Structure 1
Amino acid sequence: MGTEGPPMLDLLGHQFLPVDMRTLSGTATLGLVSRPESVRKARDFTRSTLQGWRLPEQFDAVALVVSELVTNALRHGVRARSADYEPTAPPAVELELMRCSRRLICAVRDPSAAAPRVGEMEGAAESGRGLHLVECFSDNWGWRPLTGTRHGKVVWAVFRTG
């Protein structure tokens, strides 16, 4: 389901995260195409990864954040429409989960270099709340543009574990 390889945050450098990446004990990565069902696929991947890491109690908060970050990446970070989907195209968005000592990191890469924007929360509006939810349910979050041969940005969230 996921892939193995160097964590995408290795490509960014570790100084921007409030965790010691030398304690990295596991990574799981999933490429996602620009389709609505990708959000459900990301949640399912998160559930199975957390179960494998024996962290099922983290699922509710992490799944909510994964859903918001993947939705934002697909809605705002990917310019292609679903009708433009090609089965051989590279993933539009990547989700990576990383387990460190007493921390879990969720990172989502998309091809846009534009900074994520925290929307205005107006009354009963159903949009614009995503990053507010990420802020409420994670212990920390942020973003960073990619450099070098990779284009776009990574938006990440950190969760404390037992």
Structure 2
Amino acid sequence: MSTGTALATDPHVVSCTLAPRFEAVRTAREFTRDTLNGWGLGELFDDVALVASELVTNALRHALGQSEPSRVPAQSMPQLSAETLPIRISLVHRAPQVVCAVSDPSSNGPVAREADFVAESGRGLHLVDSFSRSWGWHPLAGAGKVVWALFDARAAEPPAESPLPVNLGRHRRSA
């Protein structure tokens, strides 16, 4: 459901424009999986995809003001014009880091709420904080913002070979 994936001249900086519908969350996850696999960083998928899902969902709910975009008929969807910024997910790989960034048309920054573990929503930014090394947001010139999360790609790289065996005869005991 994306409106197109653009590969920049730098293969380590890629973006995907997303349609303003909840299917965009699935598209963002697929884009994230394909991109990380292409970079040889598939081990990061679970964490990056969870954060991407949360950031895109927040953009749909708060920036576009659609509590249930999947129930809006396609013919009544707002048309994106030159003045309207779409939702866009970007992934940047600069070893040893990966950045997941989601831009949207709202200039209002994200606000983490007090976690209510009984509520169906409201924990997204807590998840972003838990699964990324750091996160933040910046206003864009004119209008809109970008919310980003930073991941350590070193954890996904294979360890250097050690001349000594590791964990020889040892095991971890689970509680």
**TM range, smaller chain:** 0.7 to 0.9
**How far 1:25 moved relative to its partner?**
6.3
**Could you say which residue in structure 1 is the equivalent of 2:93?**
99
Corresponding residue of 1:45: 31
Highest CA radius of gyration, 1 or 2?
Answer: 2
Match of 1:2 in 2: 5
Could you list the per-position Cα deviations for residues 63-94 of structure 1 after superposition, in whole angstroms to 9, with x for gaps in the alignment?
000000000001101146544326x6356200
Answer yes or no: is the 8 Å Cα contact 2:104–2:146 preserved in 1.
Answer: yes
TM-score normalised per structure 1: 0.80
2:41 aligned residue: 55
Q: How many pairs are equivalent?
A: 142
| Percent of matched pairs sharing the same residue | 46
More displaced 10-residue stretch of structure 1: 89-98 or 151-160? 89-98
Mapping of residues 3-152 of structure 1, within 5 Å: 3-5=6-8, 26-79=12-65, 82-83=72-73, 84-85=76-77, 89=80, 92-148=86-142, 151-152=143-144
Post-superposition CA distance 1:33-91 (Å, at most 9, x none): 111111001000100000000000000000000000000001101146544326x6356
Q: C-alpha separation between the residues in 1 aligned to 2:115 and 2:65?
A: 25
Deviation of 1:5 after TM superposition, in Å, equals 3.8
Counterpart-to-counterpart distance in 1, 2:117 and 2:125? 16
Q: Which amino acid aligns with 2:23?
A: E
Ranges in structure 2 where 5+ consecutive residues have no aligned partner: 155-175
Q: Which structure 1 segments of 5+ residues have no match? A: 7-23
State the structure with bigger RCO (CA 8 A, min sep 6), 1 or 2.
Answer: 1
CA distance in 1, matches of 2:103, 2:64: 10
Q: Is the 8 A contact 2:116 2:123 kept in 1?
A: no
| Residue identity in the other structure for 2:80 | A
Is the CA contact 2:25–2:53 (under 8 Å) kept in the aligned structure 1? yes
How far, CA to CA, are the matches of 1:92 and 1:85 in structure 2?
A: 12
